[in-house]
Structure 1
């Protein structure tokens, strides 16, 4: 039986997503400026990192959970179990779930902050990040055979993290000024 999972696989997936995102950022830099290019590539990277961190089994030895023993509904037990999968990092699962979405919220604001429409796009993006969290949890429910679980606490923590990230992004806007660095070309 072939098993894929564990922290090493997650790190490799996040690094691969980082490389692809960096290439996207480099391609956008001339057109949008450094801050916006980094923000857009950072948002792409953070969304990919979230997918990798939440949809890859936490251990390589998990194998496949038999269909008859997998969960068939989301846990509505708020507070949920305190997973010990990442205690080596010094954080509990709830803190990691919050921290996982902070970069996405921050990069979102910096990515749309160059345009006036960002005032509307940022709240829409925050709602989409919340939907992304719900989608990840529902995917974990459907893929429960890879030993992941759907949990309402994770959704709340993820959305809180995205909100914190949005606040950090708003605080960084006047410092980083993503609206600068525009390259305007006159088509003749």
Structure 2
């Protein structure tokens, strides 16, 4: 059985996705303008990075996880004990869940901020980011092989992160002015 997982796989996947995003930005900046092209590519990259971090098993040696041993429901224990058990760079799991979605919210606003329809697309996109978080948690619930857990705390933290990114994007809009085509 081939096992795939661990932070190395996540980082490698993120780097490959970043290269593809840069190529996409370079290919589309003539038509979209630099700010919008980078923002669209950044949004797509952040969605792939979120999927890698949340859906790739944390260890390559997980092996087979029997369906009988997986949880049948999501944890509704808001702020439960799992947040303190996982730490990276001195940051706990809850903080990392928030930070994971900040770029997606930020890039979303900048990607659609060029057009008037962005007034509709940005809030709709924020709702889709919330749905994306829900979809990830439901996938973690259904696929025992991932050795991940569905948790309402993760969903709330992810939505908060997307909201923070959204607010930062709104603050950056008048600075970067994506509606002005800057060909560099």
TM-score by length of 2: 0.95
Pairing 1:51–2:51 present: yes
Superposed, 1:89-128 pairs within 5 Å as 89-128=89-128
1:145, CA displacement in angstroms?
Answer: 2.3
Give distance in 1, aligned partners of 2:84 and 2:30.
44
Distance 1:3 1:164, change over 3 A: same
The answer for the alignment partner of 1:186 in structure 2 is: none
The answer for the alignment partner of 1:172 in structure 2 is: 172
Superposed, 1:23-102 pairs within 5 Å as 23-80=23-80, 81-82=82-83, 84-85=85-86, 87-102=87-102
Give distance in 1, aligned partners of 2:4 and 2:85.
19
* 2:34–2:182 Cα contact (<8 Å) kept: no
Residue deviations 1:40-76 (CA, integer Å, cap 9, x gap) = 0000000000000000011112112122111121111
Give distance in 2, aligned partners of 1:27 and 1:96.
32
Distance 1:120 1:13, change over 3 A: same
Q: Which runs of 4+ in 1 moved over 4 A?
A: none
What RMSD over aligned residues (CA atoms) do the two structures have, in Å? 1.3
Q: Which runs of 5+ in 1 are unaligned?
A: 184-188
* 1:43–1:108 Cα contact (<8 Å) kept: yes
SS at match of 1:179: coil
Number of corresponding residues: 182
Residue deviations 1:136-176 (CA, integer Å, cap 9, x gap) = 10011111222111110000000000000000000000100
Pairing 1:3–2:3 present: yes
TM-score by length of 1: 0.93
Q: Which runs of 5+ in 2 are unaligned?
A: none
1:17, CA displacement in angstroms?
Answer: 1.0
Give distance in 1, aligned partners of 2:175 and 2:28.
21
* 1:57–1:146 Cα contact (<8 Å) kept: yes
Give distance in 1, aligned partners of 2:64 and 2:72.
15
